[in-house]
Amino acid sequence: MLSIPVTKKVSHGAWLGAFAAATALIAAPFGKSEAEPVIPPDARLVWSDEFNYTGAPDPKKWDYDTFANRDFWWHNERQYYTRARSENARVENGVLIIEARKEDLSSQKDWVGQEYSSARLITRGRASWTYGFVDVRAKLPCGRGTWPAIWMLSDKGRWPKDGEIDIMEMVGSKPGDIHSTLHSSQGVPERLQGNLQINDACKAFHNYRMDWREDGFTFYVDSTVVFTAKKGTASYDEWPWDHNFHLLMNIAVGGAWGGIDGIDPTVFPVRLEVDYVRVYQYPKQPAKK
């Protein structure tokens, strides 16, 4: 889920094909299943939100991203992200609800014609991590034009130089086609992505997971591997994921990828429902001599 201006949005299929030329990252076969549990036994829970409360998302854990509403969030997206508005972000019945709605918020000072409202929750300034296991249990919205994402950005703030980690993205016109992606400054050849079809992603909760270590990544849906990437001898430009990243969750509407098949206004409102977010980390390894 890109967040800084780019000149061209390349299809996820093209990213994967082009990446075959990169020598520093090694991809494992997609769709490989592993026995439960996939959470490593040495992982220690360091941060979580179980959403066992009612009302606004916990302000000690979550903030709202609204800074680029005037710029349509770089992809000509059609949502206006709100701040602390219960219609778009709330906790009820033990679940976080991020809701995208068809409505006119022209009374807002930074509104520039968006036809939809939504929310983009972010842990920036509250919590960030280097390495660990991220586990988000969620039910996704479907419908043409919807674009839900669970992802991470660098605290350094220099996109794309300092990287992006997409744990889960899905275009609602292709329900259940789950994508995980790594972005760097090296352009299309240096981005790695995998996808996995989950037929009931919009009807049932699934765990969207990432195991992030110093030597590489493994992405999962439940206990099935989406893809694995190894660092090898990659340079920082090829592998910019060895520093603190914060978490984001949102529903975009339309845009270069989310709106590739147009937007169906009749599907709204739609919800990204999150049962919990858990972040684990590993014991620090002794320095090599």
Do residues 207 and 137 touch, judged by C-beta distance below 8 A? yes
**Mean pLDDT along residues 207-219:** 96
Classify domain 25-281 by CATH number.
Answer: 2.60.120.200
Per-residue pLDDT, 160: 87
Per-residue pLDDT, 187: 52
Per-residue pLDDT, 284: 78
Q: What is the pLDDT of residues 23-33, one digit of tens each?
A: 334 444 444 45
Q: Between 9 and 174, where is the model more confident?
A: 174
Per-residue pLDDT, 105: 98
Phi-psi domain of 256 (left: phi exceeds 0; alpha: psi -120 through 50; beta: other): alpha
Please determine, for residue 136, whether its predicted confidence score (pLDDT) is greater than 50: yes
Q: Between 256 and 5, where is the model more confident?
A: 256
Q: Average pLDDT over the chain, rounded to whole?
A: 87
Please determine, for residue 108, whether its predicted confidence score (pLDDT) is greater than 90: yes
Among 18-27, 77-86, 116-125, 162-171, the least confident range? 18-27
Catalytic residue among 34, 50, 115, 169: 169
Per-residue pLDDT, 64: 98
Confidence band for 192, pLDDT divided at 50, 70 and 90: confident
**Mean pLDDT along residues 264-286:** 93
Catalytic residue among 164, 190, 238, 273: 164
**Mean pLDDT along residues 19-23:** 34
CA distance 83 to 58: 13
Please determine, for residue 185, whether its predicted confidence score (pLDDT) is greater than 50: yes
Q: What is the pLDDT of residues 52-103, one digit of tens each?
A: 999 999 999 999 999 999 999 989 999 999 999 999 999 999 999 999 999 9
| Tokens (6 digits) for 230 | 């190894």
Angle at CA of residue 236, ends 234 and 241, nearest 5°: 95
Is 99 considered catalytic here? no
- The DSSP bridge partners found for residue 96 are 91, 274
Could you tell me which of 252, 207, 213, 206 has the C-alpha nearest to residue 229? 213
Per-residue pLDDT, 37: 64
Is 164 considered catalytic here? yes
Domain boundaries, the chain: 25-281
